[in-house]
Amino acid sequence: MEIVENRALRLQLRNPTTVTTVIPKSRQTGPNEVLVHWGVDEARALRELNIKAPAPIAGRYNWPGQYKPMDHQRTTAEFLTMNQRAFCFNEQGTGKTASAIWAADFLMNQRKVRRVLVVCPLSIMDSAWRADLFKFAMHRTVDVAYGAAPKRKKIVSGPAEFVIINYDGIGIVEEEIRNGQFDLIVVDEASHYKNSQSKRWKTLHRLLTPDTWLWLMTGTPAAQSPVDAYGLAKLVSPAGVPRFYGAFRDLVMTQKTKFRWEPKDDAVTTVHRVLQPAIRYSKDECLDLPDMVYTKRHIPMTPQQTKYYNKLKKDMVMEAAGAEITTVNAAINMNKLLQISAGAVYTDDGDTLEFDISSRYNVLLEVIAESSKKVLIFVPFKSTIRMLTDRLRADGLSTDVISGDVKAGDRTDIFKRFQTEADPRVLVIQPQSAAHGVTLTAANTIVWWAPTASLETYAQANARIHRSGQTSKCTVVQLESSPVERRLYSLLDDRIDIHAKILDLYDDLLD
């Protein structure tokens, strides 16, 4: 048998024509053995022959960045490099962004991919993707295609190896993307593409060629209904689903009345079959994952919020120039900035001025949908609590409230139902009202709608889910829009007493 010289992989043959197993690298070759190139194409070809060839990234990659991958992240990256089109259903908080970055970087090293287009929500373009690219692939060039159309087009047509864009931004620069040599498209929180009749779905579908790599990432591929799987499957593995949506609906649903459909008994099995190839890790399966994961979501302020925020900041500058600022005054002014950022502020007359919270609210819904268990939402301001709770209930999410206005007996009943019954799924809490002593382990996700100024309250509130009786690993999500929120979260993360830093923080905000 001819021996082909290479530095990577050796195959052992049980007979001269059948390759059966892969064995470690060796300089020596024995009977019925052949050395072959250990690349992505070769490994994929061997797997198609039912040979358990290892992913080349496992042995030919140095895993760059500030942190080394955890075991489940390595496995996820290996899986992605071996599948040109695939699903990553790893649960929120498992670090799937880093896995995708390492996998993409390896493919770029192998010259399988030239440029990567990352499609994700606005809230994680900077806080997750740009930040993680700096942590795990700092040698790569990155840009965010957001803003006016000319700016987006210039960035997409530019030299950046990774370009990050929001869902609906693709339609603005579709032609530039088509001509931009993007070999790999990564869609984060891909459940936004479940509807194959939507404009954004059709735009993405037009960009796909037979050579395009496509990875769809979401922790909840069919959270609301089995039919949600259709749009996703149609992008990754169209041959596995019927050509038309109605046929797939009939495959997984039974019509009970004119307007009522119910999942068939085998719907879960069907959904699992069509959403392949896929990898899935829950947080509880990741033994090397911290018990509590902290993430940030950035949401731009609306023009209305920006106007009032800047006006108040200008007034603060004028006040600081005219008199010495006390800690009390500084705290009051910063509290008003926080209220504007969170969506509602009390006026001097005692009325409440409400702002458009749609963008922030949509991000909250994304987090709730991604959570595998119940959710706590900590909101420091009563005016915002009322506004937020009304919207959650209007959208059909079973929601209860804990605030200073709720009587002690009613609180006890709400806590008990939250822990023992299916509803409520969401609990909106004013932090000071439930920061101590309460066990709420029915939830494994906490969302901070806005930061608290108390380090003790912050730590104690997070401990409501991270305590004895918790069977799942937990996630804390920080929502932020403004500089004051960003700075407060930074101090909380560093466990710095904010009250001792009020005047310094106040001066920082005025610069």
Whether 311 maps to a domain, the answer reads no
pLDDT tens for residues 150-174?
Answer: 999 999 999 999 999 999 999 999 9
Contact 229, 278 (CB under 8 A): no
Pairwise CA distance, residues 115 & 210, whole Å: 16
Is the pLDDT at 304 greater than 70? The verdict is: yes
3 state DSSP class of 427? strand
Query: Are 395 and 489 found together in one domain?
Result: yes
Whether 453 maps to a domain, the answer reads yes
pLDDT tens for residues 414-451?
Answer: 999 999 999 999 999 999 887 566 889 999 999 999 99
Q: Mean per-residue pLDDT for 320-336?
A: 72
Pairwise CA distance, residues 83 & 426, whole Å: 37
Whether 172 maps to a domain, the answer reads yes
Whether 2 maps to a domain, the answer reads no
Query: Are 164 and 265 found together in one domain?
Result: yes
Is the pLDDT at 27 greater than 60? The verdict is: no
Query: Are 123 and 181 found together in one domain?
Result: yes
Query: What tokens were used for 234?
Result: 């149609």
Query: Are 243 and 383 found together in one domain?
Result: no
Query: Are 20 and 104 found together in one domain?
Result: no
Q: What mean pLDDT value characterizes the chain?
A: 86
Query: Are 100 and 238 found together in one domain?
Result: yes
Query: Are 198 and 276 found together in one domain?
Result: yes
Confidence at residue 20, expressed as pLDDT on a 0 to 100 scale = 41
At how many degrees (to 10) do helices 267-274 and 245-252 cross? 140
Contact 115, 177 (CB under 8 A): no
What proportion of the chain, given as a percentage, has pLDDT over 90?
A: 54
Radius of gyration of the chain measured on its C-alpha atoms: 26
Query: Are 125 and 272 found together in one domain?
Result: yes
Question: Where do the H-state alpha helices sit in 30-126?
Answer: 40-48, 71-81, 96-109
Whether 491 maps to a domain, the answer reads yes
Query: Are 390 and 417 found together in one domain?
Result: yes
Contact 464, 376 (CB under 8 A): yes
3 state DSSP class of 142? strand
Is the pLDDT at 80 greater than 90? The verdict is: yes
Contact 217, 190 (CB under 8 A): yes
Whether 340 maps to a domain, the answer reads no
Instruction: Tell me the C-alpha to C-alpha distance, in Å, between residue 334 and each of 92, 467, 485, 510.
Output: 32, 32, 10, 11
Q: Which has the higher per-residue pLDDT, 49 or 377?
A: 377
pLDDT tens for residues 93-141?
Answer: 788 999 999 999 999 999 999 999 999 988 888 878 998 999 999 999 9
* Sheet with 292-298, side-by-side order of all strands: 292-298, 474-480, 443-448, 374-378, 426-429, 399-402
The pTM is what? 0.74
* 128 DSSP 8-state letter: I
Split into its structural domains, the chain has a count of 3
Confidence of residue 289 (pLDDT cuts 50, 70, 90): low
Confidence of residue 31 (pLDDT cuts 50, 70, 90): low
Query: Are 190 and 246 found together in one domain?
Result: yes
Query: Are 162 and 33 found together in one domain?
Result: no
Pairwise CA distance, residues 227 & 251, whole Å: 9
Q: Mean per-residue pLDDT for 230-242?
A: 96
Whether 402 maps to a domain, the answer reads yes
Domain range for residue 372? 292-298+354-510
Neighbouring C-beta atoms of residue 277, cutoff 10 Å:
14
Query: What tokens were used for 280?
Result: 């899935």
Pairwise CA distance, residues 292 & 196, whole Å: 36
Confidence at residue 282, expressed as pLDDT on a 0 to 100 scale = 84
Run of H or E including 304:
helix 303-322
Confidence at residue 22, expressed as pLDDT on a 0 to 100 scale = 46
Whether 321 maps to a domain, the answer reads no
CATH number at residue 415: 3.40.50.300
| 266 Cβ neighbours under 8 A, 6+ residues apart | none
Sign of CA dihedral 19, 21, 22, 24: negative
pLDDT tens for residues 332-344?
Answer: 888 888 999 999 8
Pairwise CA distance, residues 460 & 458, whole Å: 6
Pairwise CA distance, residues 489 & 487, whole Å: 6
CATH number at residue 192: 3.40.50.10810
Query: Are 16 and 129 found together in one domain?
Result: no
